[in-house]
Amino acid sequence: MTLVKEAPARPAGKRPAAPAAGRRGRRRETLAGYLFMSPWIAGFLLLTAGPMIASLYYAFTSYNLFTPPQWVGLDNFTTMFQDPRWQKSVEVTLKYVVVATPLKLLLALGVALLLAQKRRGQGLYRAAFYMPSLIGASVSVGFVWRALFSDDAVVDRTQKIFGLDVGGWIGNPDYVIYALVALSIWQFGAPMVIFLAGLKQVPQELYEAAEMDGAGPLRRFWNVTLPMISPVLFFNVLLESIHAFQVFGSAYVVSDTRCGPADATLVYTCYLYQKGFKEAQMGFASAMAWTLVIAVALVTAVLFWSQKKWVHYEEAAK
């Protein structure tokens, strides 16, 4: 707008050249645009797109890093689908995703509803609850978790009070995965912060109107809050489940470096790491990686498809 206003003020001599200058200007803008984003373009080609293509190729080869890749067709995939350890890793990962994600989001939403009330100290609570999301991925916290869930430590002794005598969860193949689930739930702060931001945007009038219509707190939550924050809920479900599929560090650190005991925490990425970097089966590992990408893409697609049914977008968004 301002440009149009300024135009007559320009020296008269330059006016006839305007169309050419415009085209040249546009070309210069394009050049500037690509120059500014050249780091990203280089990164995208060299570190994302190129490697993706390379990995797709490796997936159909036998490759041990030392001799050139040998084309083997679908061999990696057929071996993989029949491999009991691969099946185990899928089972462990699905269990982790399906148990940890809903529990974490439920807690995040519950605490967000609590913190959405204006009370003294609310900001401090919010900060404290967020902190685990920043340190949860560290090796330090992995060690702490290992300690808390080992024999005779606090979790073991607490469960004994309730008559549960299974020992520490770390050494127990049936329970160790739940130590990882607990570590994931402990990091509920990140989705909580996103829920809180969503809750803040719900117009107060809607609650007042619902209250006047005689809706109790539960109805207000179900008919006002939940639809209004459904886009944020969708975002959290998408992000948290994609992250959960890729869990690695906690399995490697909390259980043991072989993701045991008895492959009980052999999450997908852990098996991929073992195959690729311990056994130098780059072809097999690439086939695994692509299978994961396709699985995650499918989950994403299903979520996006399902959002039509339950995600409520405001017509007049801002």
Partner 1 sequence: MTSATSPALPTAHERRRVGSIAWHVGALLVLAVVLYPVIWVVGASFKPSKDIIASLDLLPTAPVWANFSGLADGISGISIGSFFWNSLVYAVLAVVGVVLSSSLTAYAFAKIRFAGRNLLFTLMIGTLLLPYHVLLIPQYVLFRNLELTDTLVPLVAGKFLATEAFFVFLMVQFMRGLPRELDEAAKLDGCGHLRTYWSIVLPLSRPAIITSAIFTFINAWNDFMGPLIYLNTPEKYTVSLGLMMFRDQEGISNYGSMIAMSLVALVPVIAFFMAFQRYLIDGMATSGLKG
Subset of residues 162 to 191 that bind partner 1, contact rule: CB under 8 A: 186, 189-190
Q: Is 290 near partner 1 (CB under 8 A)?
A: yes
- Only one of the segments 12-20, 93-101, 219-227, 279-287 lies at the binding site for partner 1 (rule: CB under 8 A); that segment is 279-287
Say if residue 231 is exposed, middle or buried (CB neighbours under 10 Å; 0-12, 13-18, 19+).
middle
Q: Which stretch binds partner 1 (CB under 8 A): 79-87, 133-141, 213-221, 305-313?
A: 133-141
Does residue 111 touch partner 1 according to CB under 8 A?
yes
Residue pair 108/126 in contact (Cβ under 8 Å)? The answer is no
Most distant CA atoms of the chain, gap in Å? 93
Q: State yes or no: residue 236 binds partner 1 (CB under 8 A).
A: yes
Count CB neighbours of 256 within 10 A: 15
* # chain residues binding partner 1, by CB under 8 A: 94
- Looking at 17, 18, 21, 47, which residue binds partner 1 (CB under 8 A)? 47
CB of 290 to partner 1, least distance (A): 6
Q: For the chain, what is the radius of gyration of the CA atoms?
A: 27
Q: Does 267 bind partner 1 (CB under 8 A)?
A: no
Residue 71 touching partner 1 (CB under 8 A):
no
Tokens of 110: 């519950």
Helix (H) or strand (E) holding 70: strand 70-71
Among 17, 18, 21, 65, binds partner 1 (CB under 8 A): 65
**6, 7, 12, 113 from 3: Cα distances, Å:** 5, 6, 16, 48
Shortest approach of partner 1 to residue 207 CB, angstroms? 16
Q: What is d(CA 198, CA 308) in angstroms, rounded to the nearest whole number?
A: 19
Identify which range of 78-86, 87-95, 151-159, 220-228 contacts partner 1 by CB under 8 A.
Answer: 151-159
Site for partner 1 in 81-100 (CB under 8 A): none
